[in-house]
Amino acid sequence: MKTIHYLYALICVFLLIILFLFFTSTPANVTGQPHPRFDTMLSGGDSLSTKSNTHILGYLFGLCTVLTLCVFLILGAIRKNSLGAIRPWLLLSSLVYMIVYTLTFLSDTHYIKTNHTHFFNGWPMPTAWMIFGMWSAPVLFVCIYVFKFRDWILPLEDEERFYDLVAERKKRQNK
């Protein structure tokens, strides 16, 4: 199976999730109703995040978004029909990113169920995962780019060939 087929499969999963959400009924009073005591305030009913099917579909949608980013990075890394030595690093970074996303999601689920009692450095746990985990997980891809630039992006031979082509073109333009 070609790598691009994985991207097509992810797009089909996105479509199925969106279609399923479209045909799912929303809980009563989810958008809010006038508060019984304070006229200027609205009070909400059931949360969409507590409905199991929307909760799971939200997780799958986010996971597919992370996977799409990873597939695009992997597609961009292919040189001469191969990933070469960069493959394990990209797969490991993709796995770490998906794990951090999953832990963030599970933290949010736990936070909702326990009435917001867990904090880290003064931040609610889901917020802490977003700040410290989801932000730093893609930095692994940046590190791969920085440290493997000569091996993966622009080897010295390719750079020399580029400068040779530029010099040849300048010679032709000056004639």
pTM of the model: 0.75
HSE value, Cβ hemisphere, 13 Å, CA-based, for 139: 8
Q: What would the pLDDT profile of 57-91 be if each residue is shown by its tens digit? A: 889 999 999 999 998 888 887 777 777 788 888 89
Q: What is the pLDDT of residues 1-15, one digit of tens each?
A: 676 788 888 899 999
Instruction: Measure the CA angle with vertex 65, ends 71 and 54; round to 5°.
Output: 145
The three-state secondary structure class of 35 is: coil
Please state the length of the chain: 175
Contact 63, 70 (CB under 8 A): no
Q: Which amino acid is at 135?
A: W
What residues pair up with 33 in beta bridges, in sequence order? 43
